[in-house]
Amino acid sequence: MHTQWEITKYCNKCGFVLEEKAALKQCPNCHKKYYFNAKACAAVWLTNSKNEILLTKRAYDPFKGWWDIPGGFAEPNETLEDAAIRELHEETGLEMTNMQYVGSLYENYEYESEVVPIVAAIFKAKIKGNETVTVNDDVSDYQFVAIDKIDFEKIAFENQRKFVQNLSLE
Ligand SMILES: [Zn+2]
């Protein structure tokens, strides 16, 4: 398993082998610098009118079959708020209101044979309007669960599990 950083070997401007220096790699020929950055994500701790939390089951690896709070990767030209709103809608068909930023977490997300560092903004929100869930292909199941009944052992990703556990205690 390699990180994207380890895989980046050649200058995409001139083709020379990059030299590694502290937190960056640099082309010895044209001096272009390459920085290793995390990919941005957003996720939502969403509650219904009974104050139950929405969990979605992951249909694909990493962590296929484990539970998640809805969310995903930000697209280009999108804020983290936009990403959270779009991902929630794509995965569940739901709309949200009273959106509030609560903090962020990082993970090393394993995608095929690569480790992708991510940083995720977590929002709290309430369902706006219709509470009927219609899942997309990324989600194999969903549940609304009372906050004191969440099975943390089944929550995907180490840091998300800790974050959700901390939120449940608030
Ligand atoms: Zn170069």
Distance from the CA of 36 to the center of ligand 1, in angstroms? 17
Distance from the CA of 65 to the center of ligand 1, in angstroms? 43
Distance CA 3, CA 7 (A): 6
pLDDT tens digits for 2-15?
A: 777 788 899 999 99
Distance from the CA of 35 to the center of ligand 1, in angstroms? 14
pTM for this entry: 0.88
> Which own/partner contact pairs does 104-108 have at CB distance under 8 Å and 24+ positions apart?
105/159, 105/160, 105/162, 105/163, 106/38, 106/159, 107/157, 107/158, 107/159, 107/160, 108/3
Distance CA 48, CA 67 (A): 17
- Judged against a pLDDT cut of 90, whether residue 115 lies above it is answered with no
pLDDT tens digits for 37-53?
A: 899 999 999 999 999 99
- Judged against a pLDDT cut of 90, whether residue 85 lies above it is answered with yes
